[in-house]
Amino acid sequence: MCRSAATLLGGKETAAIAAEIMKHAPIARMPLEQLEVFFGRATPAEARIYARIPAVGLPAGARLTGSVRGPKSAFSHTLSATIPLVDLGPGAARVAEAVVPEPCFWTPGMPYLYEVRVSLEVGGQAWAQSEQMLGIRPMGSSHRRLVLEGKPWILRTVEPSDFTIESLIPWREAKASLVLSHPGDAECRAASEQGVGLVAMVNEGDIAAELRRLSRWPAVMLAVVPADFDPGQVPPPANLMLGVRMPLGKPPAWAKVVLAEPTGNSSEDWRGQVGADVSLIAVKTTEDERTVQSAAQSLAEFEGAFAAGEWAGYALLGK
């Protein structure tokens, strides 16, 4: 159980709180461009949250301090706590850690969020400060399946024909994740607060920089990048799962998820020819309108064409 005592709210009260939260932009004073805020080991007992910045170029004696406050959610009243970020000492990077007892996780439909305030101090004085939203989202790929909170989880996602931030609430009620191309910070923030999972299609520009930006938002559960993407010497951002959309072929080593159009009635038809131990998402493309009502039915019919649990997820995309 999450540490906070939570009271679920009714529809009108929920909408009012969500609207109030969305009015406020994230606070950031003298933002630290290379600052990473992420979570490490996360269990129902405790979660470890980190702030990290490369030490190269920092003034002598610089250290990271700050706090983690939360959880909060637009859909429940919670008891909030403040946990200090403690600097772990000199090294190739300055790192501060906070240990959150009995954390509340971010999941689609129940989006618990934490506020992480970080200060880079030099000589006891704040040299730069930043504030970021963080959701502890224990999602991964294990034994060809997607896992959320330690349990098998099926991704059901739709690329909407026409997307606006105002449409997030009905999509949330339909329990569908959304496929968006290069979603902006406003969309990512709103989806994080509303509890709508996002699959971000990242296929142009500075992909590494775009991944760093998207990794800040809890709603971005998966980023799909080109198969020829090369992370180089810089590892992918923490807490962001990477996938690829491709036809039959060997996926890159960094891909945990592959979006593929079925070549038969079984995912083993595809996997048997490729031999990759990845989570497979079955893709269906259509020229039809993909509204909340029509997409939900189309996605259910597509999933129903396969044996239960055959694929790790199902995606309805536009042509």
Give the model confidence (pLDDT) of 80-115 as tens digits.
999 999 999 988 899 999 999 999 999 998 999 999
What's the mean pLDDT when you consider all of the chain?
86
Whether 163 and 118 map to the same domain: the answer is: no
Whether 295 and 161 map to the same domain: the answer is: yes
Whether 127 and 77 map to the same domain: the answer is: yes
Supply the pLDDT for residue 278. Answer: 85
Report residue 16's pLDDT band, with 50, 70 and 90 as the boundaries: low
List, for residues 197-230, the tens digit of each pLDDT value: 999 999 989 999 999 999 999 999 999 999 999 8
Weakest mean pLDDT among 16-20, 90-94, 275-279, 283-287: 16-20
Report residue 32's pLDDT band, with 50, 70 and 90 as the boundaries: confident
Supply the pLDDT for residue 106. Answer: 96
Report residue 234's pLDDT band, with 50, 70 and 90 as the boundaries: low
More confident: 5 or 85: 85
Whether 114 and 171 map to the same domain: the answer is: no
Supply the pLDDT for residue 118. Answer: 95
Residue range of the domain that includes 192: 139-318
Whether 62 and 187 map to the same domain: the answer is: no
More confident: 271 or 294: 294
Whether 241 and 116 map to the same domain: the answer is: no
Supply the pLDDT for residue 1. Answer: 55
**Residue 2: inside a domain:** no
Report residue 133's pLDDT band, with 50, 70 and 90 as the boundaries: very high
Number of domains into which the chain is organized: 2
Complete DSSP assignment for the chain: --SS--EE--HHHHHHHHHHHHTSPPP-SS--TT-EEEEEEE-SSEEEEEEEEE-TTPPTT-EEEEEEEEEEBTTEE---EEEEEEE--SSSEEEEEEEEESPPPEETTEE-EEEEEEEEEETTEEEEEEEEEE----EEEETTEEEETTEEE-EEEE--SS--GGGHHHHHHTT-EEEEES--HHHHHHHHHHT--EEEE--SS-HHHHHHHHTT-TTEEEEE--TT---TTSPPPTT--EEEE-SSSPPPTT-SEEEE--SSSSHHHHHHHH---SEEEEEEEESS---HHHHHHHHHHHHHTS-TTSSSEEEEEE-
Mean pLDDT confidence for 172-179? 93
Whether 104 and 168 map to the same domain: the answer is: no
Whether 159 and 269 map to the same domain: the answer is: yes
Domain final residue, candidates 75, 104, 134: 134
Whether 297 and 282 map to the same domain: the answer is: yes
Supply the pLDDT for residue 11. Answer: 55
Mean pLDDT confidence for 265-289? 76
Domain final residue, candidates 90, 105, 134: 134
Whether 83 and 145 map to the same domain: the answer is: no
Domain final residue, candidates 94, 116, 134: 134
**Residue 22: inside a domain:** no
Whether 67 and 183 map to the same domain: the answer is: no
| Highest mean pLDDT: which range of 45-49, 231-235, 238-242 | 45-49
For residue 73, give the CATH number of its domain.
2.60.40.10
